Amino acid sequence: MLREVQPLTTPLLRQINHFGVRFTWITLAVAVVLFAFAVWVRGYAWPDALIAVVALAVGAIPEGLPAVITITLAIGVQRMARRHAAIRQLPAVETLGATSVICSDKTGTLTRNEMTVRRLEVPHGQYTVTGSGYVPEGRLEAASTDDAAADKQRLESSCLVLSGVLCNDAQLNQENGAWHVMGDPMEGALVALAIKAGLEPELTRHEWPRLAEIPFDAKHRFMATLHRHATGDCRIFVKGAPDELLQRCVAQIDGEGTASLDQGAWGAKVANAAAQGERVLGFAVKAVAPDADKLTFSDLDGLVFIGLIGFIDPPREEAVAAIKECHSAGIAVKMITGDHAETAAAIARQLGFGEDPHVLTGRELDDISDTDLPAIVTEASVFARTNPEHKLRIVRALQSTGAIVAMTGDGVNDAPSLKQANVGVGMGHKGTDAAKEASQMVLLDDNFASIVAAVNEGRVVYDNIRKVTAWTLPTNGGEVLAVVAAILFNFSMPMSAVQILWINLVTAGTLGLALAFEPAEPNVMQRRPRPANQGLLTPFLIWRVALVSFLFLAAVLGVFFYSLGRGDELAMARTLVVNLIVVLEIFYLFNVRYLHDTSFSWQGLLGTPAVLAAVAVVVVAQALFTYWPAMHALFDTRPLAFLDGVLIISIGMVMMAILEVEKIVMRRTGWLNQ
C-alpha cells in the first residue's frame, strides 16, 4: 500500500511554479517588445536599448523572493519546534496553514492515553474498579447480588482478570515514584487491574507459561495466547473487540461451568458501557488438550465468553479547546478510531463534536462506493472500527473534494494514509519509525493541541509569504513602469540600470526579509482556510500590485520632472528618485505588515525588532549612497538638501495614508480576504 501512494506536491510549490513560469514568459515578452520598440521606433542604438531592457528585467524579476520564501518557511519550522511540532519537510510548514480537514486518531492524541479499568462485566454481576491511571492502588467493588450468585461472580471475575494478565505483553514498572507502562496502554491497565485484584503478574505468568500466540492485528481485531499450568491445565485465552469474539463463542462462563451464550444481553452491556465513553474489550477462554503446543485460527472456534472490561481514557482539556479553535477557523475535525461506535460517539461529545455526532463504522464504509464516499465522509465527523484501508479511503475521498487533509497516525499500518495526506503527522512518543518516516511532521508530545498550534503557525507563514509578495512585486513594478514610460515617451531614464541594482540589493535582503519575522495577526485563526487552488496572487493582491505600482510611478515621475524643472542636472534628479523609491518602500513596508488590519496603531508604527533593524540598515546605506564621495563615483549620485529629504518623506507619508484608506474600503467591501 505504501508503494502505491504517490507523494503530493504542496499547494505553495504548485503556486510558486505556476507563478514563476507565467512571470518569466511575461517579462521576456515585454522585454523583447520594448527592445524592438526602442530600436526601430525611437531610434535607440541597440547597446542603449539593451541596457534599458536589462534595467527593466532587473527591476521586474523578484530575484530575492525565492530566498525570502525559503527563509520564511525556515523561521516557521523554528516556531513550530517551540510548540512541539517537528517539521521533516520544509514545504509542509505552509501546507499546514492551508489545512481544511484534520483527521485525528483518538487515543493519546485527543485523549490522555492513560487507560484505567473502570468496570468488569461477568454473567452473574458487575464490578466497579477504583483508582486512577496506572497506579496499582484500588479495589474491585461488586454490585449488589444474592448469595447464590456471589460465588459464581467471584469465579467468573477471577477468570476474567487472569485472562487479562496472561493474554498481555505489557509490563508495569515503578521509576522515581511514578508508574510507567512498557507496552500497550490498555494492556498496562490490565496489569494494574490484576494487582488490584490480588494477583502478582510476574508470578502468575510464570505459573502459566505461554506456549504460542496469535498477535493482535487490525484485520481480525483480537489477540490469542496458549498457556499450560504446572498442573497440566492447558487453555487458550483471547481478548479483543467484543463483537468479533462473540461471533466465535458458542457458550458463556457460568461459575465453574458453562451456559448458553446470550448475545443480546452482551450486546446491550457493550452499548451501555460504550455510551458512557468507555472503551470495551471482550475476553474468552477455551480448554484444550494438555499436549497442545501450537495455535492457529481454527483453534479459536468454540470459545467460551468470559466477560467484558471497560476502560476510560479521559479527553485532553487542551484538545477540547483546540477543536473549538479549529471550528472557529473553519477547519473540520474528523476523529478516526478502532473503538466501538458508541464509545467513539461518547468521547466525541465530550470533545465538543456536538450532541449528536455523525458516526460511520468501518463495515458501513465497506458498503459505500468510491463515487458516493466523498459526500458521505464530508458529513461524518467520527469513524469507528476502522482499519488502515479505511483510513486511506477516507483521506483520498476528502482530497477528491478539494480539501487539504492533515492525518495523524502512530502505527506501521498508518504509514499509507500518512503518506497520502497533504500533511502526515506522526507521533513522537508512541509512533513507530515507519509512521514517522511517512510523515511530514512529527508531534513531540503526541498532543492534538500541538497540531492546531502548528496550523496557526502555518497560517502565519503563509500570511508572511503573502506580505513579502505584496511588498516585492509592486515596489519592483514601480521601477519597471518608470523604465517603460521612459522608453514609450522618449525621455531620460529616471534611474540608471546600476541604480536599480542598488535599490534591489539594499532593500530585498533587508526590508523584504524583515517580513519573514512578522508575528501572527490578531484574527489569523478566525479566517476560513484558503482554497487549495488559490494562486499566489489573489484578486486583492493583483489589485494591490497594480495600485502601488502606479502610485510609485506617479511619485517617481513627479519628483523626477520636478527636479529637472527647477534646473537640477540629471544625476541629481536620479538621486532624488532612488531615495524616493527607498523611502516609499519603507513606508509601504509598515502598511503591508497588516494586510487584514490597520497599521495605524502603536504596535503597527513601532514595528518589530526585525523591521526596525532592517530600516536602520537601509537608512545608513542610503546615507552612504547619497553623501559618500566614493558612491558618487560608482553610482553617479549627488548629495541632497534637507528640504529635499523632507519632501521625500512627506510623499511617503501621503502614500501610506492613501493605502490605509484603501485597506479600510477593501475590508468593508469584502475584497481584503480574496
pLDDT in tens, 158-197: 999 999 999 999 999 888 878 888 888 899 999 999 999 9
Q: What is the pLDDT of residue 388?
A: 83
Give me the chain's average pLDDT, please: 88
With 70 as the cut, is the pLDDT of residue 274 above it? yes
Q: What is the pLDDT of residue 674?
A: 55
Q: Which residue has the higher pLDDT, 94 or 580?
A: 580
Lowest mean pLDDT among 57-66, 243-252, 295-304, 640-649: 57-66
Is 209 part of any domain? Answer: yes
Per the annotation, the verdict on 105 as an active-site residue is yes
Which cell goes with 214? Answer: 496469535
The three-state secondary structure class of 669 is helix
Query: What is the mean predicted confidence (pLDDT) over 304-333?
Result: 90
Query: What is the mean predicted confidence (pLDDT) over 462-487?
Result: 86
Q: pLDDT category, 668, cuts 50, 70, 90? A: confident
Is 246 part of any domain? Answer: yes
pTM above the 0.85 mark?
no
Lowest mean pLDDT among 46-50, 298-302, 494-498: 46-50
Residue 279 contacts residue 184 (beta carbons within 8 Å): no
Is 173 part of any domain? Answer: yes
Q: CB count, 10 Å around CB of 538? A: 19
Q: What is the pLDDT of residue 632?
A: 92
With 90 as the cut, is the pLDDT of residue 279 above it? no
Q: What is the pLDDT of residue 527?
A: 82
Is 510 part of any domain? Answer: no
List 48, 105, 313, 410, catalytic entry: 105
Would residue 9 be called left, alpha or beta, if left means φ above 0 and alpha means ψ between -120 and 50 degrees? Answer: beta
Handedness of CA 203, 209, 214, 220 (dihedral sign): negative
Query: What is the mean predicted confidence (pLDDT) over 348-367?
Result: 90
Distance between CA atoms of 127 and 96, rounded to whole angstroms?
46
With 80 as the cut, is the pLDDT of residue 595 above it? no
Q: What is the pLDDT of residue 627?
A: 94
Query: What is the mean predicted confidence (pLDDT) over 402-407?
Result: 92
With 80 as the cut, is the pLDDT of residue 308 above it? yes
Q: Which residue has the higher pLDDT, 532 or 322?
A: 322
Q: What is the pLDDT of residue 671?
A: 66
Q: What is the pLDDT of residue 380?
A: 93
Residue 415 contacts residue 435 (beta carbons within 8 Å): yes
The overall longest dimension of the chain from CA atoms, in Å, is 117
Lowest mean pLDDT among 85-89, 391-395, 579-583, 593-597: 593-597
Read off the amino acid at residue 109.
T
Residue 406 contacts residue 450 (beta carbons within 8 Å): no
| Buried b or exposed e, range 232-259, using 16+ CB within 10 angstroms | eebbbbbbbbbbebbebbeebbbbeeee
Phi, psi of 492 (to 5 degrees): -60, 145
Lowest mean pLDDT among 326-335, 392-401, 581-590, 661-670: 661-670
Is 341 part of any domain? Answer: no
Q: pLDDT category, 603, cuts 50, 70, 90? A: low
Share of the chain above pLDDT 90, in %: 41
Distance between CA atoms of 86 and 95, rounded to whole angstroms?
14
Q: What is the pLDDT of residue 180?
A: 85
Q: What is the pLDDT of residue 203?
A: 94
Query: What is the mean predicted confidence (pLDDT) over 384-409?
Result: 91
198-211 confidence digits (pLDDT tens): 999 999 999 999 99
The three-state secondary structure class of 86 is strand
Q: What is the pLDDT of residue 557?
A: 95
Is 224 part of any domain? Answer: yes
Share of the chain above pLDDT 70, in %: 97
End-to-end alpha-carbon separation of the chain, Å?
Answer: 39
The residues pairing with 102 across neighbouring beta strands, listed in sequence order, are 333, 406
CA torsion, ordered 475, 547, 589, 91, to nearest 10 deg: -80
120-156 confidence digits (pLDDT tens): 999 988 999 998 788 888 889 887 666 667 888 889 9
With 80 as the cut, is the pLDDT of residue 597 above it? no
Query: What is the mean predicted confidence (pLDDT) over 616-645?
Result: 93
Query: What is the mean predicted confidence (pLDDT) over 457-481?
Result: 87
Q: What is the pLDDT of residue 605?
A: 67
Residue 494 contacts residue 482 (beta carbons within 8 Å): yes
Would residue 67 be called left, alpha or beta, if left means φ above 0 and alpha means ψ between -120 and 50 degrees? Answer: alpha
Q: pLDDT category, 111, cuts 50, 70, 90? A: confident
Residue 510 contacts residue 611 (beta carbons within 8 Å): no
Q: What is the pLDDT of residue 526?
A: 83
Distance between CA atoms of 417 and 394, rounded to whole angstroms?
9
With 80 as the cut, is the pLDDT of residue 55 above it? no
Q: What is the pLDDT of residue 145?
A: 64
419-459 confidence digits (pLDDT tens): 999 999 988 887 888 889 989 999 888 888 888 888 888 88
Pairing verdict, β 303-312 and 279-287:
antiparallel
Q: CB count, 10 Å around CB of 579? A: 22
Q: pLDDT category, 212, cuts 50, 70, 90? A: very high
With 90 as the cut, is the pLDDT of residue 93 above it? no
Distance between CA atoms of 634 and 623, rounded to whole angstroms?
14
Distance between CA atoms of 406 and 425, rounded to whole angstroms?
7
| 3-state helix, strand and coil shares in percent for the chain, rounded to the nearest 5 | 55, 15, 30
Residue 423 contacts residue 99 (beta carbons within 8 Å): yes
Distance between CA atoms of 362 and 337, rounded to whole angstroms?
10
Handedness of CA 147, 152, 158, 160 (dihedral sign): negative
Is 328 part of any domain? Answer: no
Query: What is the mean predicted confidence (pLDDT) over 211-225?
Result: 91
Is 545 part of any domain? Answer: no
The three-state secondary structure class of 633 is helix
Q: pLDDT category, 343, cuts 50, 70, 90? A: confident
Domain CATH code at residue 242? 3.40.1110.10
Read off the amino acid at residue 45.
A
With 80 as the cut, is the pLDDT of residue 99 above it? yes
Domain total of the chain: 1
Distance between CA atoms of 171 and 200, rounded to whole angstroms?
12
The alpha carbon of 13 is separated from its chain's Cα centroid by a whole number of angstroms, namely 17
Q: What one-character DSSP code corresponds to residue 297? A: G
Task: Give the domain extent around 121.
Answer: 116-312
Query: What is the mean predicted confidence (pLDDT) over 654-670?
Result: 85
